[in-house]
Structure 1
């Protein structure tokens, strides 16, 4: 299987950032693949982060620009750069699983990498699982990275 494009869903959880980045390096590095980092914001989270990054409440700024300056995207991007892996930053506002799947389709991803908390089956049934939705609906292989 040839890997040209790997989409990596990057969340807010710092404890998962390193393990997701290392997995992306292990997968994309040997293949020479380009990594597409994606951070999906809720509407409320997007406005909060825009404000924290001093974009201003009325600034017309694209989610890609906000994501590129987001701490976890920068951290993963720095690790990828250090490993000699090309990457692009993407941002979206909406439902995480839908946005991850949409980007994967749009860029023709050969693989998705997502992180998760590793909840029990009962926990997933009660609360739902973004990772489970992605695993069930992705048109390419998905690597699930459980939080350390």
Structure 2
């Protein structure tokens, strides 16, 4: 299977994982020449907060999740790092529950692989709070690579 499109799924906790996500994504997408879609998912409240924080005027025109994602600091930083490594980048955005929306972005973009970051959680923590990564791994239409946050 050739990798043509890799979805790097991003959310609110990924600013602290930028180094690891960039490194792993470059290692995967670089040799294959794949385009990386930086897909940022927002809950409704995260989206409204981001529109306000990023200075959009929501009354002038409808602001798409993709536009908001493109201005998000984590997306911009990852785009710069990937482009510096000669990896082609596109931006995607979605509003909704993180796991389901990531799966939707993977389907929409025709992703051949999804990369998702996360932290180690106990089984009880997953049962109580859910796990975005687990939802993606069980529901994605393609293979999923999980990048764990540094534990050091």
Same topology, TM > 0.5:
yes
Q: Is the 8 A contact 1:47 1:57 kept in 2?
A: no
Give the corresponding residue for 1:50: 51
Unaligned runs of 5+ in 2: none
- TM-score normalised by L of structure 1: 0.95
Dislocated runs of 4+, deviation >3 Å: none
Q: Secondary structure at the match of 1:36?
A: strand
The CA distance in 2 between the partners of 1:109 and 1:91, in whole Å, is 14
Give the corresponding residue for 1:90: 92
Q: Mean Cα displacement is larger for which, 26-35 or 87-96?
A: 87-96
The CA distance in 2 between the partners of 1:58 and 1:93, in whole Å, is 19
Give the corresponding residue for 2:33: 32
Give the corresponding residue for 1:117: 119
How well do the aligned residues superpose, as a CA RMSD in angstroms? 1.1
Q: Kindly state the Cα deviation for residue 58 of structure 1 after the two structures are TM-superposed.
A: 2.4
Give the corresponding residue for 1:8: 8
- TM-score normalised by L of structure 2: 0.93
The CA distance in 2 between the partners of 1:57 and 1:84, in whole Å, is 34
Give the corresponding residue for 2:130: 128
Q: Kindly state the Cα deviation for residue 105 of structure 1 after the two structures are TM-superposed.
A: 1.2
Q: Deviations over 1:108-127 (max 9, x none)?
A: 11100000111011211111
Give the corresponding residue for 1:18: 19
The CA distance in 1 between the partners of 2:93 and 2:109, in whole Å, is 14
Q: Secondary structure at the match of 2:63?
A: coil
The CA distance in 2 between the partners of 1:21 and 1:12, in whole Å, is 16
